[in-house]
Amino acid sequence: MSSPSRSYLKLETRFSRLSALSGAAAILQWDSAVIMPPGGSSARAEQMAGLTVLSHELLNHSETADLLDEAEKTVSDLDDWQRANLKEMRHSWRHATAIAPDLAEAHSRATSLCEMQWRQARHDNDFASLSTSLTEVVNLTQKIAAAKANVFKTTPYDALLDEYEPGCSSMIIDRLFADLEEFLPGFLTDVQDRQSSEPPVILPNGPFDEAIQKRLGRDFMTALGFDFNHGRLDVSHHPFTGGVADDVRLTTRYQAEDFTESLMGTLHETGHALYEQGLPKKWGTQPVGMARGMVLHESQSLLVEMQLSRGHDFMAFTLPQIKSAFNGQGPAWELENLQRLYLKVEPGLIRVDADEVTYPLHVILRYRLEKALLSGDLSVADLPGAWNSGMQSLLGITPPNDTMGCLQDIHWPSGAIGYFPTYTLGALAAAQIFQSAASGIEDFSEKIQDGRFQDLLRWLRLHIHSLGSSTSTDEILRAATGGPLGSAAFKTHLQARYLSR
Amino acid sequence: MSSPSRSYLKLETRFSRLSALSGAAAILQWDSAVIMPPGGSSARAEQMAGLTVLSHELLNHSETADLLDEAEKTVSDLDDWQRANLKEMRHSWRHATAIAPDLAEAHSRATSLCEMQWRQARHDNDFASLSTSLTEVVNLTQKIAAAKANVFKTTPYDALLDEYEPGCSSMIIDRLFADLEEFLPGFLTDVQDRQSSEPPVILPNGPFDEAIQKRLGRDFMTALGFDFNHGRLDVSHHPFTGGVADDVRLTTRYQAEDFTESLMGTLHETGHALYEQGLPKKWGTQPVGMARGMVLHESQSLLVEMQLSRGHDFMAFTLPQIKSAFNGQGPAWELENLQRLYLKVEPGLIRVDADEVTYPLHVILRYRLEKALLSGDLSVADLPGAWNSGMQSLLGITPPNDTMGCLQDIHWPSGAIGYFPTYTLGALAAAQIFQSAASGIEDFSEKIQDGRFQDLLRWLRLHIHSLGSSTSTDEILRAATGGPLGSAAFKTHLQARYLSR
């Protein structure tokens, strides 16, 4: 085989510089959420804007286009990873250059304003105050979607979706969501009937010392394989996983009266973090070395939180440690009671607080509404009404106000249309991957009960993490689980967990 | 007055982007020293290199040169601050463009390697292992100095000095240092004689709780006027002041057996921090809004640490709080004893541990040696010998090994020749400024004893901080103190503190 062309190697250098800039931005973003004193925010905004503009200029530079054209002429000189890398470079270049710089700038300015107003509007329960700026964001997002649809030869919505989950489409989502919408309402009734016949959940009594909560979180992270030499655990208002693959920064938050929120949140973020820490080091500065997309990313967090951590085996491993750490005694601390607590199913108003049964219904509502907003079938003014009637028909409850309704999420004010479906696609993928992993690992259940997670991590590394973006989500899932993304494993999982226990 | 030219305004935009990049780098540097997990270092190095290269490209871009040329043609359209700003822009452009890119890169690579080898060499007490890479650094620094001397029409050493303290020169330093060298040895003997006749210092008994040390540090920082809305106090191995003016990040370190090191270190850094927080906000993103140079910067830290905090009035304010925080009792906690502890004078081997009387002698040695290294009069191989004989003649002691001798400082391995003198010039400036402030503020002594620092801070804001780089160090000092930088106030201060007490 010949060696890679000069143009390809120059692209690697260029994209490694882009990776350095986005890595710097990721650390600064973490800093803003965790460490920064309030008065530092405007200087920070300038720093972030500077990094964004320079990255954009670097990617949009005519030299980048020339190098891509040239390198693609000699693609046969590249090995598989280099070829996949070149493909990913072209893909991010397409997204960056699809829209005119002034549209990108207008969008960035509009979303900054709208996010700011959204915080106030949510606080004041005042949707009307948001409607002008949200309308502007939607209008600009429509223009971006149209421009990208033109480049990617797809529908406007799918062009946006492609930013978060390359290769995905409404067609795939429609089919899967239709299936869930048919299955979930009846299933939900069955689960609620069953849960109401069970003994009531007894809440363990706090307060739970924050230092102990933190130690437990760190212990379980370590047991799962999180490498603290390449990462940290800190506190922020909204938990997230940030930083870069070599320096993964998780956050959580602690409540004195309820240790489960922090614990489950930490485990959720640990799933994201293990994915990042398992990405191929050799390709760490290149597009092909990045996580494949939001569906697999969310699959990894939900695999750890929902599939693994709320399951009986994991609880059998963790409960003695939790109980002893908090000196827990009495019936509240029995495994069956805690599992009923972890698995309580109940339709609620807030997506981020939802259980795994009702969560997809929240997502289906948002998916429907954002498609209608983007197509123009739904105006921003009509959003609250459409939200409330959607909640009623999907979950049987109507928000008492917009703060607990259509003002609860930051996604649309921040211009993220096309993101929501990845949460539920991730949940389906999590179930499907977990099922494969569990059946592919000998004595799986015993290993989990013993806290021996090495085989599970090795399996995930091999089948998901180490592949980076070398191939598509679809191919990764087929190779790992034997088939394309579907809802069967998820439904099987729900039935086993909530009705057959 | 006409409005500023288009070219000037474009320069402001360009330099504000440069400021965003250097601000991002400053936060990341803080992060590396305080927060980063060890495994994150190589990704961080890439991020820093990316920011450095981009800043360099932006400053060296031919457009920058064109804009500077154009803007300088219509300098009469600018107000005083804009004019000073333009001058500073030209100044940093000159430094950046004086040396060829390949020389800059070679220097950066050589210093990275040499710093790394220095850590090992210091640890192993193995100067020989450093000599090749230090020779390379010196050679490249000679080339840089020659190139800059050519641009700035000055001597090579003064061209390097100009990076740290614009406008300073060896002529000024030689005069001041000659005076100190004449004064200090005899003075030192007198002080040591006197101190040996005093009661021996009684060390307060620890351990001193870290949380209490931290609270005291924060309390005194707050009292002095540090704004925690725009800054933080954290822990690092080597204390420093980092971050940006709107988000100033101090660090300290705590020792269980000795609370004074952290306390004095924190107060020292607070002086730096107050300068940063007092810089003109309006010019925060421009060169003219930055701190004037290392002499004034060091003057502010030494003003707070040496002039103020080790003085009787400040101790009268702080001692009751410190005593009560640590529940201190007995003769060790009497003011006179603690002051003897704070003011103990003794020639030692290590610069950073030196008292204010012997510190200048450490600096004079380094100044001499680095000039000789730069001129080629001293070879790297002969450095240890020259160091040891210099220590013997200036301080009367000879290091038992190079680790405690010429391997103790990172400056030369990191390529910083021309930096050392600013420590002592800063000490002279601190004495001179403090003398002016004290005599310009009514009831100064009572205010300090009461912990009322507002007038002192206001004075420093007005005469030093708020001027940024709008005028030269020399002019700032003349306006604030009535004369150019001299050694008189420093000598008066030493005599009053150590012999007339």
- What's residue A346's pLDDT? 96
Closest-CA distance, B457 to chain A, in angstroms, reads 20
- Return per-residue pLDDT of chain A as tens, 501 residues: 578 999 999 999 999 999 999 999 999 999 999 999 999 988 998 999 889 889 999 999 999 999 999 999 999 999 999 999 999 999 999 999 999 888 988 898 899 889 989 999 999 999 999 999 999 999 999 999 999 999 999 999 999 999 999 999 999 999 999 999 999 999 999 999 999 999 999 999 989 999 999 999 999 999 999 999 999 999 998 899 999 999 999 999 999 999 999 999 999 999 999 999 999 999 999 999 999 999 999 999 999 999 999 999 999 999 999 999 999 999 999 999 999 999 999 999 999 999 999 999 999 999 999 999 999 999 999 999 999 999 999 999 999 999 999 999 999 999 999 999 999 999 999 999 999 999 999 999 999 999 999 999 999 999 999 999 999 999 999 999 999 999 999 999 999 999 986
| A6-151 CATH | 1.20.58
Ranges of H-type helices in A198-293: 210-224, 259-277
The structure tokens listed for A449 are: 């009960």
The structure tokens listed for B41 are: 């270092």
Chain B CB contacts of A54 under 8 Å are 17, 21, 54
- What's residue A51's pLDDT? 92
CATH topology of domain B98-501: Neurolysin; domain 3 (1.10.1370)
Mapping DSSP to helix (H, G, I), strand (E, B) and coil, where does residue B250 land? Answer: strand
| Cα pseudo-dihedral B147, B148, B154, B160, rounded to 10 | -120
Residues of B in CB contact (< 8 Å) with A are 16-17, 19-21, 23-24, 27-28, 31, 35-40, 42-44, 46-47, 49-51, 53-54, 227-232, 243-247, 284-285
Burial label, A217 (beta-carbon count in 10 A; 0-12, 13-18, 19+):
buried
Mapping DSSP to helix (H, G, I), strand (E, B) and coil, where does residue A453 land? Answer: coil
| Helix H or strand E segment including A235 | strand A231-235
Top CATH class of A152-501 equals mainly alpha
Residue in chain B nearest A57 by alpha carbon: B54
| Domain spans in chain A, listed from the N-terminal domain onward | 6-151, 152-501
> What ipTM, to 2 d.p.?
0.92
Chain A CB contacts of B51 under 8 Å are 20-21, 24
Q: Which residues pair with B242 in a beta bridge?
A: B249
Residue in chain A nearest B49 by alpha carbon: A20
Closest-CA distance, A81 to chain B, in angstroms, reads 21
Q: Do A51 and B232 touch (CB under 8 A)?
A: no
User: Count of CB atoms within 10 A of residue A74's CB?
Assistant: 14
CA distance B420 to B437: 26
- What's residue A1's pLDDT? 55
Chain A CB contacts of B290 under 8 Å are none
Q: What is the pTM of this model?
A: 0.94
- What's residue B136's pLDDT? 96
Q: What is the mean pLDDT of each run of 10 residues along chain B (501 residues)?
A: 89 96 95 93 90 91 97 95 98 94 88 91 96 96 97 97 96 98 97 95 94 98 98 94 97 95 96 98 97 98 98 97 96 95 96 96 98 98 98 97 96 96 98 98 98 98 98 98 98 96 68
- What's residue A237's pLDDT? 87
Chain A CB contacts of B250 under 8 Å are none
CA distance A348 to A43: 39
- What's residue B1's pLDDT? 55
Encode A27-44: b = buried (16+ Cβ within 10 Å), e = exposed.
Answer: bbbbbbbbbbbebbeebb
- Catalytic machinery residues of A: 269
Residue A21: left if φ>0, alpha if ψ -120 to 50, beta else—which one?
A: alpha
- For an interface test with A, the pick among B42, B46, B283 (most A C-beta atoms closer than 10 Å) comes out as B46
Q: A152-501: same fold as A6-151? A: no
